Amino acid sequence: MLLLTTPAAAGVVLFVPGSDQVSSVGVLDITEDQHGDMYFATDNGLSHFDGADWQITHMTYGKPGSGLLNDHVLALEFDAGGHLWLGFPDGLQWLEDGRYVTNRDQQLFKSLDIHELLAAGGRMWVAAGTAGLHRYDDGSWEWFQPGGPGNLGCTYVSSMAIEASGRAIYVACREGIWTTPNTDEPVSFTPLPGGELVTEPPLRIRSDPFGGLYVFNTSTVLHFSPPDQWRTVVTSPLLTPGIDIADLRVDAERTLWIATNNGIYAWRDGKVRDHLDTGRGIGNNAVKTVYVDSQDRLWFVTPENVGYYTIPRRSIPGSAIAITTYPVPPYVTPPTPPEESPRITPSVSFQVIPGTTVPQATGPLDGILDALLAFFRGLLSR
């Protein structure tokens, strides 16, 4: 296996499409299994990375169950039992006991264009063409047609997300954003409160692992917190004027990694904290997709390669990544040279302020020094 790295690209690993690496840069979805292995849905098969080697699965002819339904894989998701589900332009598959089970039943799926998958507990939500959503639950299927009994207001679902608590499902489409409780009760979708304020398509959504939902288009990232709170997180001019936002993910320390046509920005606490671009080794600034895995690797896809950047961590618990692009160095008091500076007893108080002179020591030593000076002056005058 060839890993492309350079000394100037610390923390960055690149993979070039080929038979022994990722099968294509046409990556349409990324997911991770319970062991930390990575899976990539591409326009040239399924690529699997186990941390050391790549395995590529293609469509097979005349061998049902041994390969993919189609080399054009649109969506990936693992269910609660650890089975990998795959969506294709012409049907659905899932991997069970080492075999691919295929479902192309057009009586079940009103469209075979399976382009989005979302696991929610023991359920699997399936977006099918412009026919709304299907849900698999304990061996049975249910169809939520646009404008039907479930009140879904979407035709073509562009993205789905689940609330970090698992209590709600969110669905984005050109008609807006819809939500439903993730319970055993009958499904009933309602428009997301305040969602009418988000009017400029195309809209995409990502779950916030710390609660709520990120909603974004090419110019703006918003955050929704249940039940009805919205705030603007960042707009593209705050990153670099004139760029477009393509994707985003949140890491374990609340840093938002934003994919753009000018590289990847790390946004935290209202500021850009890092910027990965060709100068940092990512190969191409036009980043299409990002994904943060369980091992602190930020995966990214460009028109030239697939790669990952190992996210650095600060030692302070709960803090975000170390600032590298926009450092603000704190004032550091120089260490005391050994055997040169006098020791100061704990009773002495002083304060060092950058840019000012050090004030004279104050405390009980003042009186002791005065007495000693007077004593020696008396000896010298005799």
Please give the full DSSP string across 234-294, using - where no structure is assigned. Answer: EEHHHHSTT--EEEEEE-TTSPEEEEEBTEEEEEETTEEEEEE-GGGT-S-S---EEEE-T
Answer yes or no: are the C-beta atoms of 191 and 183 closer than 8 Å: no
Pairwise CA distance, residues 165 & 181, whole Å: 11
Answer yes or no: are the C-beta atoms of 298 and 292 closer than 8 Å: yes
pLDDT band, residue 196 (cuts 50/70/90): low
Predicted local distance difference test score (pLDDT) of residue 193: 87
Give the residue-averaged pLDDT of 301-328. 64
3-class secondary structure, 364 = coil
> Of 58, 27, 84, whose CA–CA distance to 299 is shortest?
27
Residue 165 has pLDDT above 90, yes or no: yes
Q: How many residues does the chain have?
A: 382
Mean model confidence pLDDT for the chain: 83
Residue 170 has pLDDT above 70, yes or no: yes
Residue 66 has pLDDT above 50, yes or no: yes
Predicted local distance difference test score (pLDDT) of residue 179: 96
Residue 60 has pLDDT above 90, yes or no: no
DSSP class of residue 362? B
Predicted local distance difference test score (pLDDT) of residue 20: 85
Residue 280 has pLDDT above 70, yes or no: yes
Q: Using CA atoms of 253, 249, 144, 91 in order, give the dihedral in degrees to the nearest 10.
A: -130
Give the residue-averaged pLDDT of 295-318. 85
Q: Which two tokens stand for residue 380?
A: 């010298």
Predicted local distance difference test score (pLDDT) of residue 19: 77
Pairwise CA distance, residues 79 & 90, whole Å: 21
pLDDT band, residue 268 (cuts 50/70/90): very high
Per cent of the chain over pLDDT 70 is: 77
**The pTM of the whole model exceeds 0.85:** no
Residue 349 has pLDDT above 80, yes or no: no
Predicted local distance difference test score (pLDDT) of residue 197: 66
User: Residue 346 contacts by C-beta under 8 Å, 6 or more apart in sequence?
Assistant: none
Give the residue-averaged pLDDT of 345-369. 38
Window from 20-24, 245-249, 349-353 with minimum mean pLDDT: 349-353
Pairwise CA distance, residues 110 & 66, whole Å: 26
Predicted local distance difference test score (pLDDT) of residue 337: 39
State the DSSP string of 200-221: SSPPEEEE-TTSSEEEE-SSEE
Give the residue-averaged pLDDT of 142-159. 95
Residue 352 has pLDDT above 50, yes or no: no
Domain assignments of the chain as residue spans, ordered by start: 12-310
Output the CA–CA distances (angstroms, integers) from residue 145 to 112, 127, 210, in the order listed: 14, 10, 31
Q: Which two tokens stand for residue 70?
A: 């189609």
Predicted local distance difference test score (pLDDT) of residue 342: 41
Give me the half-sphere count of Cα atoms (radius 13 Å) on the Cβ side of residue 156.
Answer: 9
Answer yes or no: are the C-beta atoms of 168 and 180 closer than 8 Å: yes
Residue 324 has pLDDT above 50, yes or no: no
Pairwise CA distance, residues 73 & 45, whole Å: 6
Pairwise CA distance, residues 130 & 28, whole Å: 18
Predicted local distance difference test score (pLDDT) of residue 230: 94
Give the residue-averaged pLDDT of 299-321. 76
Residue 247 has pLDDT above 50, yes or no: yes
Give the residue-averaged pLDDT of 196-214. 85
The domain 12-310 having CATH identifier 1.10.3720.10: the answer here is no
Peptide bond into 202 cis (omega under 30): yes
